[in-house]
A and B are shown apart, each in its own frame.
Chain A
Amino acid sequence: QTVVTQEPSLTVSPGGTVTLTCASSTGAVTSGYYPNWFQQKPGQPPRSLIYSTTDKHFWTPARFSGSLLGGKAALTLSGVQPEDEAHYYCLLYYGNANWVFGGGTKLTVL
């Protein structure tokens, strides 16, 4: 069974920079996994931030960026704002129309 692993929790200070990562039990994450990143706040549906590793939607704030880092997908927040406190989930594509979510990272802004 494929497992996608994220940091369970991270803490960052307002105005700081933090990088969340997303690893696959099958090996290095590449662009072929089309990494997607989502933000979810309590009581709300997830909101898509990044797709296909680095691409942003028109609604994605500029401080969010996606990349590949050391065999993992990564989401970097630069100049963190208090409203960025949320859960963040990655989603990887495993072919044949199969997707798998990571377990999520709870980001605290403190």
Chain B
Amino acid sequence: QIKLEQSGGEVKKPGASVKVSCKASGYSFTSYSISWVRQAPGQGLEWMGWVSAYKANTNYAQKFQGRVTMTTETSTNTAYMELRSLRSDDTAVYYCAREGWDLVDYWGQGTLVTVSS
């Protein structure tokens, strides 16, 4: 079955960086892209960006440009999202999701990133 397994929760200080991983299984990794979505406590979903597992090209939401890097490692079917210069309002659950050309379908279980001094 198709599964996206994310890394565990993180606690970071303001100004630090965090890198979340997302290991895919059950499908051809390079046939899809990976989107990253976050959800602050009690808030809605926010699309952060996209990385192609085939060509490794990326597109980031304007809000995160310059502060986020999304990558993939095809040898391990793993996608990564690194967010730098963390602030308290970056505290959120971060999700990876499989993306096709017209859909976002399978989701990871989420990774809670807490930013606190």
Residues of A within 8 A of B (CB): 1, 34, 36, 38, 40, 45-48, 51-52, 55, 57, 87, 89, 91, 93, 96-104
Closest to A57 in B: B105
Residues of B within 8 A of A (CB): 33, 35, 37, 44-47, 50, 59, 61-62, 95, 97, 102-110
Report the Cα distance A18→B33, complex, angstroms: 33
Would you mind naming 17 contact pairs between A and B with Cβ atoms under 8 Å apart? Answer: A38-B104, A40-B45, A46-B95, A48-B105, A51-B105, A57-B105, A87-B44, A91-B47, A93-B102, A97-B59, A98-B61, A99-B47, A99-B50, A101-B37, A101-B45, A101-B47, A102-B44
Closest to B6 in A: A45
Q: Is the CB of A34 within 8 A of B44?
A: no
Closest to B109 in A: A45
Contact for B103 among A34, A47, A103, CB less than 8 A:
A34
Q: Is the CB of B102 within 8 A of A103?
A: no
Q: Is the CB of A45 within 8 A of B95?
A: yes
Q: Which residues of B contact A45 (CB under 8 A)?
A: 95, 107-110
Contact for A104 among B33, B45, B59, B61, CB less than 8 A:
B45
Q: Is the CB of B104 within 8 A of A91?
A: yes
Q: Which residues of B contact A47 (CB under 8 A)?
A: 107
Report the Cα distance A96→B104, complex, angstroms: 15
Q: Is the CB of B103 within 8 A of A101?
A: no
Report the Cα distance A11→B44, complex, angstroms: 19
How close is B38's CB to chain A, nearest CB, in angstroms? 10
* Contact A100/B45 with A46-B107, A52-B102 known, Cβ cut-off 8 Å: no
Q: Which residues of B contact A55 (CB under 8 A)?
A: 103
